[in-house]
Structures are given as C-alpha cells and as structure tokens.
Amino acid sequence: MKKALACALLLGCALAAAAQSATSHENRWYVSVQGADVLNLYENAFTYRDNGVDIDLFTLQAGAGLGYNFSEVFGVRTQLSFGSDSGAANSAQTAGGGFFPYSFRHLDLFADAVLNLSGLEGRVTPFRTLLYAGVGGAYTFGFTDSGHPWQVISGENFAPGFRMGGIAQYTLPSGVGFFIDLGGEFYGDDYSGLKPYEEDQKSFNGYAGFPFDLRGVLTLGVMYLFKQHKQ
C-alpha cells in the first residue's frame, strides 16, 4: 500500500514539475459537478451473487471538483464525493450460512494528476481523451447492522486510498463541458468496516487476501472552464 501511494505521489510531482515550463493555457481553472454509479467490491461481495442480488452491489454518489490546467498536456484536479456503499459480513463463518448485508456512507477526497493524450500531439480540440492517477482517502460512517451473530462491523473509519482511470471530455466554445470518467479506486482494507486478519484469510471462505477494498466508478459530469487570455 505504501509503495503504491509513493508511486502515485511521485507521478503527480513529476507531472507538475514538467508543466511549470509549459505555455499559458486559455482555460486554466475549471469546476465540475458529477454523479456516479459505483460497484462495491469489498470482503464477502460474493454473498450478494450467491443470493441473487448482485444489483445491490451498485450504489450512487455525487460530488464536485476543482481543476487547473498547466498546459494542453498537464493538469491537476481535486474532487470531493459523498455517497452510499454496500457490504456484507461473512456467511461462511456461521454454521447455517445465511446472508448478512449492511450499508454505510462515505465522504472521500482525491487529488489527481491529469494527462491529456490529445495535447501530446499538439492538437487543441473540443474532444479530449485524458488519463489520471491520484491519491486521497475516505471517511466511512453510518454502518447499519448486518445481523451477523458475532462479526463486528466498525462504526467509522479513515482509510487512505489511490485511484486511476480515464476520461472522455467534450467542451463547447462557451466553456461548458461534459465528461465520462471510468476509474478504479483502492482503499485501505478497513474502508468497509471489516479488516480480516491473516488467520481469517487462511481459515474462511470469502477473504481473497487482497489488501485493498475496491470500487469501480463510472461518472457522468458537467464542467465549466474559465477562459483566460494567453500571455
């Protein structure tokens, strides 16, 4: 986890340093609002499939962002999001099996380094394809009772995280833009309120041993770029 965070931080620093010598950009600052469909892949997500309710692994979130373009190639952004999540306690740890779902909420904040692939070719076009990687974290809270006879879900958590993904963006001459963002987020293993120990992973089904709580996020958003004359 520490190595992954360090790599993401180094990437961000490298992009920012390279951008300092870039020419002035017409649309430096921008703001955005977005909504997202989130796929929750935490411990025991398999129990949703086993009980025929895979659809409940998809939840919604909303957010807002602020970004800055150093040039046509490099930029940075920060995003704050709020939404709901679906988890489950481990039914394999009970004699009679069963299904023990629970829900909770999150507030997460990320800072991303953004690379405009279209800008690498020296083209300024309304449609842009971008890649990003960033670091951040989440506060999770509001956990409901799973009904598991003994497994305890923690009440609230702070979990570090990192993410990466791609963006398809179209901007009108007015500065109004629309984008689709598809990314993956990786959090510390206590994000979902469950942090299995090594002995749990060896003894019980449902714990793959992967040291992250995962979320797949499909975002639709609207943005506005503030125009600035080139110097």
Reported confidence tier of residue 195, pLDDT bands at 50, 70, 90: confident
Reported confidence tier of residue 176, pLDDT bands at 50, 70, 90: very high
Contact in structure between 214 and 4 (CB atoms under 8 Å): no
* β-pair partners for 141: 105
Contact in structure between 97 and 63 (CB atoms under 8 Å): no
Per-residue pLDDT at 199: 60
* β-pair partners for 222: 33, 178
Higher pLDDT, 31 or 91: 31
DSSP E strand boundaries for 43-150: 58-69, 74-88, 101-116, 127-141
Per-residue pLDDT at 229: 55
* pLDDT per residue as tens digits for the range 106-127: 999 999 999 999 888 777 788 9
Reported confidence tier of residue 214, pLDDT bands at 50, 70, 90: very high
- Angle 76-82-84 from CA coordinates, rounded to 5°: 135
Per-residue pLDDT at 150: 82
pTM of the entire structure? Answer: 0.81
Least confident of 41-45, 56-60, 81-85, 181-185: 41-45
